């Protein structure tokens, strides 16, 4: 295996761009299970012997989603349904939903009616992340999920299997966390290729590649001349935005994305019973905007994070028709304005609006160029 930095990054970029219909040819020894949300407990999926693959939006081809969903459904839901309807997920063991927003809730219903013969499970993650009863409820949901996978596999999933998977995922999160501290020695596209690869590749293949990459990145010199920005939103579908930021000379110094910071954050305790430890980590991490934690305020958290990362500005990358993020945006922009942190919004509907986004990012980079955090 070639562990040269460029070779590793090339493999990460390949994985980051890999559509689901080419996954099995690329990784023939693993059996994929589709997941759509960072609250899907991938440790239990791994313990059952599957490779969790975060399926993301792809450019629309057939429009098959229109048979089930209205045009005001978010592009992610439309695309996921279309990929499944077009058989792009052939060979996948099934799909795991985690409760987040109204649209994904409806998609899970539609999915289970349309693909009634396949495995599709909803982990009904509580909306309240705190309070005295959420952890117990989440634990019950994890127990039910384990039982469902056991029925699918026809064999038990032991606590030791889950502990081993927890160790694997903790390692992935730790490696991504280390890369997060080395962002200024990488291009934006390189860093985000690693984060997307971590959720696409079999984890056992990702870990040695990331381990070989890190010392090579550590040896590189930091690039300090670029204006620094934060990237905030739901899912990064591909490398378009990071690549455009590279092109216009912006450094993405931190983020609040569910395919990056919210995915890699926190370790699962090895000391507690495994399912309880999983419940604690999933409820304790930075909330998705579809969730509720008393007193939590995304705007305040973004201001604090921007200061910690010495970011000059914030880029909101929002999916059209994503209500939870739209509400948080309305609130967070006020906090950013009060803190004197400039921000722009890139809205994604049917796919990358590359030329328009480049123009906006270029103007933003020029505006930030003369600022100090």
Partner 1 sequence: MTTRPYRKLQSATALNRLMTAYYLRSRWIGRVRPLAWVTSGAPIEILEAMGIASVYPENYGALCGAQRAATDLCQAAEAEGLSQDVCSYARTSIGSVFAPDRAPMGGLPRPDLLIASNNICGTVVKWYQYLARYFGVPLFLLDVPYVHADEPPAHTLAYVEAQLREMIAWLEAHTRRRLDDRRLRRAVAYSNEAVGLWKEIRELCKARPSPLNAPDLFIAMAPIVVLRGTRWAPWYYRRLKCEAEGRIARREGAVVDERVRLLWDNIAIWPRLFAVFSQFIKRGACVVADTYTNAWAVSVDADDPIRGLALAYTTVYINQQVPNRARVMVQMVRDFGIDGAVFHSNRSCKPYSFGQYDLRRILEREAGIPTLILEADMCDTRAFAESQLATRIQAFMESLGR
Residues within the interface to partner 1 (CB under 8 A)? 67-70, 72-73, 99, 101-103, 105-110, 112-114, 122, 124, 126-128, 131-134, 136-137, 140-141, 144, 289-290, 292, 294, 297, 320-321, 323-324, 326-331, 333-334
* Count of Cβ atoms closer than 10 Å to residue 149 Cβ: 23
Decide whether 69 or 311 has the Cβ nearer to partner 1. Answer: 69
What gap in Å lies between CA 272 and CA 40, rounded to an integer?
A: 20
Helix (H, G, I), strand (E, B) or coil at 231: strand
Q: How far is the CB of 77 from partner 1 (least distance, A)?
A: 8
Instruction: Give DSSP secondary structure letters for 301-332.
Output: HHHHHHHHTT-SEEEEEEETT-HHHHHHHHHH
Decide whether 171 or 333 has the Cβ nearer to partner 1. Answer: 333
Q: How far is the CB of 333 from partner 1 (least distance, A)?
A: 5
Decide whether 44 or 201 has the Cβ nearer to partner 1. Answer: 44
Q: Which two tokens stand for residue 274?
A: 């495994």
Q: Which two tokens stand for residue 187?
A: 């291009």
91: left (phi over 0), alpha (psi -120 to 50) or beta: left
Q: How far is the CB of 165 from partner 1 (least distance, A)?
A: 23
What gap in Å lies between CA 344 and CA 340, rounded to an integer?
A: 13
What gap in Å lies between CA 6 and CA 211, rounded to an integer?
A: 14
Q: Which residue's entry shows tokens 């579908």?
A: 237
Query: In terms of Cα–Cα distance, which of 175, 253, 231 is closest to 207?
Result: 175
Q: How far is the CB of 310 from partner 1 (least distance, A)?
A: 26
What gap in Å lies between CA 332 and CA 321, rounded to an integer?
A: 18
Q: How far is the CB of 133 from partner 1 (least distance, A)?
A: 4
Decide whether 103 or 240 has the Cβ nearer to partner 1. Answer: 103
Q: How far is the CB of 24 from partner 1 (least distance, A)?
A: 28
Q: How far is the CB of 292 from partner 1 (least distance, A)?
A: 5
Query: In terms of Cα–Cα distance, which of 19, 45, 79, 75 is closest to 200?
Result: 19
Q: How far is the CB of 115 from partner 1 (least distance, A)?
A: 12
Decide whether 143 or 270 has the Cβ nearer to partner 1. Answer: 143
Decide whether 337 or 366 has the Cβ nearer to partner 1. Answer: 337
Helix (H, G, I), strand (E, B) or coil at 218: helix
Decide whether 107 or 194 has the Cβ nearer to partner 1. Answer: 107
Q: Is the separation of the CB atoms in 34 and 20 below 8 Å?
A: yes
Q: Is the separation of the CB atoms in 343 and 316 below 8 Å?
A: yes
Decide whether 35 or 73 has the Cβ nearer to partner 1. Answer: 73
Decide whether 298 or 312 has the Cβ nearer to partner 1. Answer: 298
Q: How far is the CB of 139 from partner 1 (least distance, A)?
A: 9
Provide long-range contacts, Cβ within 8 A and 24+ apart, for 150-158. 150/48, 152/48, 152/93, 152/94, 152/119, 153/48, 153/49, 157/44, 157/47, 157/48, 158/47
């Amino acid at each position: 295996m070639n562990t040269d930095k460029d070779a590793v990054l090339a493999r990460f970029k390949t994985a980051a761009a890999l559509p689901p219909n080419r996954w099995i040819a690329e990784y023939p020894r693993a059996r994929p299970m589709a997941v759509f949300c960072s609250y899907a407990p991938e440790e239990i999926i791994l313990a059952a012997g599957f490779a969790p693959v975060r399926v993301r939006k792809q450019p629309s081809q057939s429009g098959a989603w229109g048979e089930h969903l209205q045009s005001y459904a978010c592009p992610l839901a439309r695309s996921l349904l279309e990929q499944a309807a077009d058989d792009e997920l052939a060979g996948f063991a099934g799909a795991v939903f985690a409760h987040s927003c109204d649209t994904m809730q409806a998609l899970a219903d539609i999915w289970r009616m349309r693909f009634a013969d396949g495995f599709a499970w909803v982990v009904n993650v509580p909306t309240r992340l705190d309070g005295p009863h959420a952890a117990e409820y989440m634990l019950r949901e994890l127990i039910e999920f384990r039982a469902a996978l056991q029925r699918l596999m026809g064999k038990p999933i032991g606590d030791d299997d889950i502990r081993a998977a927890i160790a694997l995922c903790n390692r992935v999160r730790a490696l991504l966390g280390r890369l997060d501290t080395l962002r200024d020695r990488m291009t934006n596209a390189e860093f985000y290729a690693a984060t997307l690869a971590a959720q696409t590749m079999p984890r056992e293949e990702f870990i040695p590649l990331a381990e070989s990459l890190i010392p090579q990145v550590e040896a590189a010199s930091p690039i300090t001349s670029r204006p620094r920005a934060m990237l905030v939103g739901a899912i990064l579908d591909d490398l378009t935005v990071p690549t455009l930021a590279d092109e216009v000379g912006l450094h993405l110094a931190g983020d609040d994305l569910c395919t990056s910071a919210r995915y890699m954050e926190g370790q699962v305790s090895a000391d507690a019973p495994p399912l309880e430890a999983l419940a604690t980590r999933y409820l304790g991490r930075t909330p998705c905007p579809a969730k509720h934690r008393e007193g939590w305020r995304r705007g305040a958290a973004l201001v604090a994070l921007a200061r910690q990362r010495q970011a000059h500005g914030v880029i909101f990358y929002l999916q059209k028709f994503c209500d939870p993020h739209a509400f948080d945006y309305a609130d967070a922009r006020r906090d950013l304005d009060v803190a004197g942190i400039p921000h722009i919004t890139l809205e994604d509907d049917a796919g990358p609006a590359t030329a328009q986004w480049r123009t906006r990012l270029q103007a933003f980079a020029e505006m930030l160029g003369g600022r100090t955090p």
